[in-house]
A = this chain, B = another copy of it.
Amino acid sequence: MRLKIDYNNMMRHALGDEEGLDFNEFEEHKELLELAYSKVMDNKGKGWQEWTALPFTQQEVIKDILDTAQKYADYDNVVVFGIGGSALGTIAVANALLHLKHNELPKSVRKSPRLYVEDNIDPERMRALLDIIDVKKTVFNVITKSGTTSETLAQFMIIQDILKRQLGEKAKDNIIIITTMGKGTLYDIAVKEGYKVFGIGGGVGGRFSVFSPVGLVPLALVGIDIKALLDGAREMSEACFAPDFAQNPALCTAFLQYMSMRRGKSISVMMPYADSLKYMADFYCQLWGESLGKAIDNNNNLVNVGQTPVKALGVTDQHSQIQLYTEGPYDKVVTFLAVENFRNTVQMPTLDASETEFLQNKTLNELINCERLATEYALTKAKRPNFTIILPEVNAHTIGELLQYFMYQTAYCGALLDINTYNQPGVEEGKQATFAMMGRKNYENKLEEIKSIQKDERFIIKNQKLL
């Protein structure tokens, strides 16, 4: 693997006895670690761990994806309609690997379509999108594993209608569906209308689907090297098979987080020091939050576990969150994402002002990395546990590694916590309530229940009179 992980600042020698972890804890929890290790390793490619197989298979699918991307290379725009796991991987990778202002570059420079990942149903956002794209020159990538996600169906209905009105029969060339083959509303519509469809394996959960067509199709459509991405994922997979737990990147850091949770570190901050990695934090936040935030464990004990993931961005959030991280409650572990070599260098000139002397003829590259090391130093000095994932450079290979690392880390941490990493029962109640309020059939009782809730007017502040 090309990534490097430095967890010195989780340990006693850096943080002191009270806040630091002891290296012996790996030995003391050997049994637990072995159990978690075998739980993940013995089920590679099976059940909900189908995601672990993705970087190793899919040769045929990849050929199909690349052929499809070729066909759409001249389109102006790629629009993804999808939400949660159907959007976050694409956003994270595209932001890392495309020019940071890709959509604003002239076509001759960007050489691939613009990309819009529309993961919300705000009417103002839909209108804004339609204001700036020519739908006739846009391929819409509609992604929902179940084929029934309300938000994605709503977006699909709107755009299909517009396309048909503008393009008639030809509308079907502008839609690509990614869903479970042979199942769900969207699949049925796709077959009827003759849309191109890519499948998602039944055992690939949304938040673990970035290396399935869910991520690969839109990323290939904007020209990203998906083969190199998968190379990286494969290489990281193999590193995550290492039986030396203290040197297994995913199991080791999962264990550090697990031990930290047990010591009251209820918050996991993900803080990349690179704008290109900003949305890696969003990817991590979904994966970590939705996978590990669970009410019951595998033995049905009520546990209400889960670290709350928080996204931050270096150096920006030094001017927003570091005050709290340094002086507030001792309830956080901070993960830094570091980049050794940026893809370009920007130098500060000389200037006749003595206060700026330390900046003159230095580079922004030096400044951002010094600030990262300084923040790491300051947090450690304040006894706040932190570790750093170092990318030698941001490229398709290292990004593939990073995503796969996040997924294995989550899988191992779920195994350590002995919970179901792959379900999300907590979102059901809200879905039902939405159906009820939208007037869906068979939800009349739920609607009654919701309507029966009484609001106390004392607890509503409005029309506050002026003095």
Q: Is A129 an interface residue (CB 8 A)?
A: yes
B-contact 0/1 string along A355-389, CB 8 Å cutoff: 11111101111111011011101100110000000
A208 to chain B, nearest CB (A): 14
Given A13-B456, A84-B320, A154-B348, 14 additional A-B pairs, CB 8 A? A1-B462, A11-B459, A84-B316, A87-B316, A105-B131, A123-B364, A249-B461, A289-B323, A293-B325, A306-B329, A308-B324, A308-B329, A326-B426, A358-B440
Copies in the complex: 2
Interface centre among A185, A328, A351, A382 (most CB of B within 10 A): A328
Contact between A467 and B11 (Cβ–Cβ < 8 Å)?
Answer: no
Q: Is A151 an interface residue (CB 8 A)?
A: yes
Interface centre among A109, A121, A363 (most CB of B within 10 A): A121
Contact between B430 and A378 (Cβ–Cβ < 8 Å)?
Answer: yes
A332 to chain B, nearest CB (A): 7
Contact check: which of B324, B331, B345 meets A123 at CB < 8 Å? Answer: B345
Query: Which stretch, A50-58, A210-218, A235-243, touches the partner chain B?
Result: A235-243
Contact between A461 and B252 (Cβ–Cβ < 8 Å)?
Answer: yes
Contact between B310 and A157 (Cβ–Cβ < 8 Å)?
Answer: no
A361 to chain B, nearest CB (A): 10
Kindly list chain B residues whose C-beta atoms are within 8 Å of the C-beta of A123. 342, 344-346, 363-365, 368
- Please report the C-alpha to C-alpha distance between residue A275 and residue B116 in the assembled complex, in whole angstroms: 14
Kindly list chain B residues whose C-beta atoms are within 8 Å of the C-beta of A160. 351
Given A1-B463, A315-B120, CB of A367 within 8 Å of CB of B154: yes
A311 to chain B, nearest CB (A): 8
Q: Is A267 an interface residue (CB 8 A)?
A: yes
Kindly list chain B residues whose C-beta atoms are within 8 Å of the C-beta of A377. 429-430, 433, 450, 453
Query: Which stretch, A29-37, A65-73, A95-103, A173-181, touches the partner chain B?
Result: A95-103
